[in-house]
């Protein structure tokens, strides 16, 4: 810190060279943001391993982290393809939620009347418990579509139902949050509806939309997993939730933990990717993405 | 001055939906090329006048007549710079042209000119958050100038700036005004600023918003720092300050009926 004060020219030079130097990359890895949670994780894992070993808890009650890791490696061949199926459901549902959420939000903000009339139903969509209606959705989809495809579509619909609302609600809020003076300015220059949307409202909504994206990414995964639990389908295209379910039936608790760990890791990865995307898109102007130097 | 008016407001009343009477029977005529300040306490409706002239909002009674048959080109400068934080200085200045459908290449020269006028060359690619308050205000002014407006409406544009930045921007604005011959309506609550800048200071009072005095500032342009230090400047400030406090006590006088107490001073330079 003191270095950057006493030696500003060097600091400026470093900044302009930022992308190419590797020590900076290493520095980032050694920053408190990484070190601190990593330390907590290691302490918890060691305590867990020791606790399991000392109390001689059998693996079918609680396996130690080391055993879970071994199981993860051993069962990778059966777990990873399942994870990919779940990821596929999640991604399709997420993209559908983003597109539909953005579109509906834009329609809502075109007229107060549309928003007033339809927003309550969007809320109802959100508050209906997904686990309760998943069987219905599966039943209905099977009336229309045959076989494996039907399961996939039902799972996507369930995951979409959960992921849709945060994007709709955040984007609607964002579209309505354009600066008052800027709105007047657009009015003064006789901007039409379309120009106001493209040049003012959408950019203003961007931080909100991206916030919604981060929430929805995780929710889409949860929606996919929950729906899979309910669907309980086997067959060739079974997802990670099915693996968790079967492992617990067969008392393969280490395998269950391994599958659980993979699901969580996927969720964290989705969040991380969306956070990087958000920071990238907002890097020039939004407080959330700006590196403060004071 | 008003023989060739840019616009005239007659008998204008404006009541907000919460029942506040923002303006009552307001008459105001602003001559073409005039620099008129609207001065008054907060809540006297001076910003409302500006918004009505800009066509932002409807008046309940009265009317606004433009001096020329063709509608004049307006530009508005708000108290906050009101820049788009996601856009660079250049893109912010280009906005009014973009909204009229002008292509990027065509707009380029006008944008460069406006940025040069407010002395911001070299900052074209900067984002608003990288600029100081005074620089943001300059961008806001450049954005107003880029369309070559006839009438410039300014709503306490320098109210949030420190004194030094404010006086710097004041003299820059006066220089530009003398070059470009705009009609300027300048809302402020700063007496010194109003006297320094204006041809006329229109003093307003609140509850209900109305004009209580219309003081011509008879000092020649260009106005220098010497004018700010002159006894004449002080006299004007004291006089307007007295009128403001009289108005606050409810003793106003109808506009245009007060005797002119000042002679034109030509020796100022």
Which residues of A are less than 8 Å from B74 in CB distance?
A: 188
Q: List CB contacts (< 8 A) between A181 and chain B.
A: 78, 80, 82
Q: Is the pLDDT of residue B60 over 50?
A: yes
Chain A residues within 8 Å of chain B (Cβ atoms): 179, 181-182, 184-191, 195, 199-200, 203, 206, 284-286, 290
Q: What is the pLDDT of residues B79-98, one digit of tens each?
A: 889 999 999 999 999 999 99
A180 CA: distance to closest CA in chain B (Å):
9
Tally C-beta pairs within 8 A across A and B.
53
pLDDT at B266 over 50: no
Domain that holds residue A127: 74-289
B116-162 residue pLDDT tens = 988 899 999 999 999 998 899 999 999 999 998 999 999 999 888 88
Q: Kindly state whether residue A233 falls inside one of the protein's structural domains.
A: yes
Q: Are A142 and A76 in contact (CB under 8 A)?
A: no
Nearest CB to B56 within list A184, A199, A286: A184
pLDDT tens readout for residues A127-163: 888 888 888 888 898 889 887 788 889 999 999 999 9
Which backbone phi and psi does B28 adopt, to 5 degrees?
-155, 130
CB contact under 8 A, A285 and B128: yes
B161-216: per-residue pLDDT in tens? Answer: 888 888 888 888 998 999 888 999 999 989 999 999 999 999 998 878 888 889 99
What pLDDT was estimated at residue A55?
Answer: 93
State the pLDDT confidence band at B3, using cuts at 50, 70 and 90. Answer: low
Q: Do A206 and B86 touch (CB under 8 A)?
A: yes
Shared-domain flag, residues B132 and B264: no
Query: Which of A184, A191, A286 is facing B99, going by the closest CB pair?
Result: A191
Do B197 and B64 share a structural domain? yes
Residue A60 falls inside a structural domain: no
For B80, the closest of A181, A191, A284 (CB atoms) is A181
* Domains contained in chain B, number: 2
Nearest Cα neighbor of A106 from A187, A181, A168 is A168
A216, part of any domain:
yes
Picking from B35, B37, B44, the residue whose alpha carbon sits closest to that of residue B207 is B44
Within-domain flag for B159: no
- Per-residue pLDDT, averaged over A176-189, amounts to 93
Give residue A139's pLDDT: 87
Q: Would you say residue A198 has pLDDT above 90?
A: yes
* Chain A residues touching residue B78 (CB < 8 angstroms): 181, 184-185
SS (H, E, C) A63-130: CCHHHHHHHHHHHHHHHHHHHHHHHHHHHHHHHHHHHHHHHHHHHHCCCHHHHHHHHHHHHHHHHCCH
pLDDT for position B210? 85
Domain boundary among B149, B171, B195: B149
Q: Does residue B89 share a domain with residue B47? A: no
Name the domain boundary from B133, B149, B165: B149
Contacts of B99 in chain A (CB under 8 A): 186, 189-191, 195, 199
Indicate if B77 and B120 belong to the same structural domain. Answer: yes
Determine, for residues A199 and B95 on separate chains, whether the beta-carbon distance falls below 8 Å.
Answer: yes
Work out how many domains chain A is built from and give that number.
1
Residues from chain B contacting residue A206 (CB–CB below 8 Å): 86
- Does the residue B164 lie in any domain? no
Angle at B22 between CA B17 and CA B24, to 5 degrees: 115
User: Which CATH number do you get for residue B200?
Assistant: 3.40.50.300
Does residue B138 share a domain with residue B99?
A: yes
Of the candidates B216, B253, B211, B197, which has an alpha carbon nearest to the alpha carbon of residue B44? B211
DSSP class of residue A235 equals: S
CB contact under 8 A, A195 and B99: yes
Which structural domain range is residue B7 located in?
A: 1-72+183-222+238-269
Name the pLDDT band for B15 (thresholds 50, 70, 90): confident
pLDDT at A10: 42
In a domain, A255, yes or no: yes
Residue A13 lies in a domain: no
Question: Most A CBs within 10 Å: which of B95, B130, B147, as the mutation test of the A interface?
Answer: B95
Interface test with B, best of A177, A185, A202 (most B CBs within 10 A): A185
Q: List, edge to edge, every strand of the sheet that includes B200-205.
A: B74-77, B151-155, B183-188, B35-39, B200-205, B210-216
**ipTM score of complex:** 0.84
Measured between beta carbons, the chain B residues lying within 8 angstroms of A200 are 84
Claim to verify: residue B188 and residue B269 sit in the same structural domain: yes
Query: Residue A189 and residue B96: Cβ atoms within 8 Å?
Result: yes
User: How many whole angstroms separate alpha carbon B161 and alpha carbon B140?
Assistant: 14
A283 interaction partners in chain B (CB closer than 8 Å): none
Classify residue A263: in a domain, yes or no. yes
- List C-alpha distances in Å: B178 to B139, B174, B175, B222: 20, 6, 5, 8
Q: Widest CA span of chain B, in angstroms?
A: 57
Question: Looking at the structure, do residues B141 and B80 belong to the same domain, yes or no?
Answer: yes
A 10 A CB-CB count for B49 gives 28
Residue-wise pLDDT for B101-119, tens only, equals 888 888 999 999 999 988 8
Residues of B in contact with A202 (CB under 8 A): none
The pLDDT assigned to A34 comes to 84
Residue A50 lies in a domain: no
Which CATH number is A198's domain given?
1.10.3720.10
Residue A53 lies in a domain: no
- In a domain? residue B158: no
Q: Is residue B142 part of a domain?
A: yes
């Amino acid at each position: 810190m003191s270095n950057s004060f006493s030696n500003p020219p060097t600091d400026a030079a470093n900044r302009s060279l930022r992308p190419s130097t590797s020590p900076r990359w290493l520095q980032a890895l050694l920053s408190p943001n990484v070190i601190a949670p990593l330390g907590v994780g290691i302490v918890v894992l060691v305590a867990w391993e020791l606790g399991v070993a000392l109390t001689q808890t059998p693996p079918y009650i609680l396996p130690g982290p080391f055993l879970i890791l071994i199981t993860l490696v051993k069962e990778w061949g059966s777990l990873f393809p399942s994870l990919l199926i779940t990821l596929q459901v999640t991604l399709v549902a997420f993209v559908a939620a983003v597109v539909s959420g953005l579109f509906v939000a834009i329609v809502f903000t075109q007229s107060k009347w549309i928003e007033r009339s339809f927003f309550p139903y969007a809320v109802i969509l959100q508050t209906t418990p997904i686990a309760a209606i998943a069987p219905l959705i599966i039943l209905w989809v099977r009336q229309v579509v045959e076989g494996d495809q039907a399961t996939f579509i039902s799972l996507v619909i369930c995951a979409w139902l959960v992921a849709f609302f945060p994007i709709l609600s955040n984007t609607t809020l964002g579209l309505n949050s354009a600066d008052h003076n800027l709105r007047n300015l657009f009015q003064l220059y006789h901007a039409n509806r379309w120009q106001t949307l493209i040049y003012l409202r959408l950019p203003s909504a961007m931080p909100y939309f991206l916030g919604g994206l981060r929430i929805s990414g995780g929710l889409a995964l949860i929606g996919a997993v929950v729906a899979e639990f309910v669907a309980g389908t086997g067959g060739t295209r079974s997802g990670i939730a099915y693996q968790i379910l079967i492992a617990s039936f067969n008392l393969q608790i280490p395998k269950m933990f391994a599958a659980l760990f993979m699901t969580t890791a996927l969720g964290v990865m989705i969040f991380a990717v969306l956070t990087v995307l958000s920071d990238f898109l907002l890097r020039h102007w939004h407080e959330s993405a700006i590196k403060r130097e004071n | 001055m008003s023989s060739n008016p840019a616009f005239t407001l007659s008998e204008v009343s404006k009541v907000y939906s919460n029942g506040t009477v923002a303006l009552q029977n307001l008459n105001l005529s602003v001559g073409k090329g005039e620099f008129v300040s609207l001065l008054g306490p907060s809540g006297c409706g001076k910003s409302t006048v500006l918004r009505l002239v800009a066509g932002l909002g409807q008046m309940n009674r009265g009317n606004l007549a433009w001096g020329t048959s063709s509608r004049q080109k307006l530009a508005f400068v708000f108290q906050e710079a009101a820049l788009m934080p996601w856009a660079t200085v250049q893109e912010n200045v280009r906005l009014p042209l973009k909204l009229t459908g002008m292509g990027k290449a065509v707009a380029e020269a006008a944008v460069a000119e406006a940025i040069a006028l407010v002395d911001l060359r070299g900052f074209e690619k900067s984002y608003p958050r990288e600029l100081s308050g005074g620089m943001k205000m300059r961008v806001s002014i450049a954005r107003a100038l880029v369309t070559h407006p006839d009438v410039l409406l300014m709503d306490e544009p320098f109210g949030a700036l420190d004194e030094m930045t404010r006086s710097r921007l004041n003299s820059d604005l006066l220089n530009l005004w003398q070059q470009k011959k705009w009609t300027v309506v300048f809302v402020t609550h700063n007496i010194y600023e109003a006297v320094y800048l204006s041809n006329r200071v229109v003093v307003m009072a609140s509850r209900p918003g109305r004009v209580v005095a219309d003081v011509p500032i008879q000092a020649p342009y260009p106005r220098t720092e010497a004018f700010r230090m002159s006894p004449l400047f002080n006299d004007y400030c004291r006089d307007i300050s007295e009128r403001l406090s009289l108005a606050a006590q409810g003793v106003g006088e109808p506009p245009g009926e007060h005797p002119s107490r000042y002679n034109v001073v030509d020796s100022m330079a």
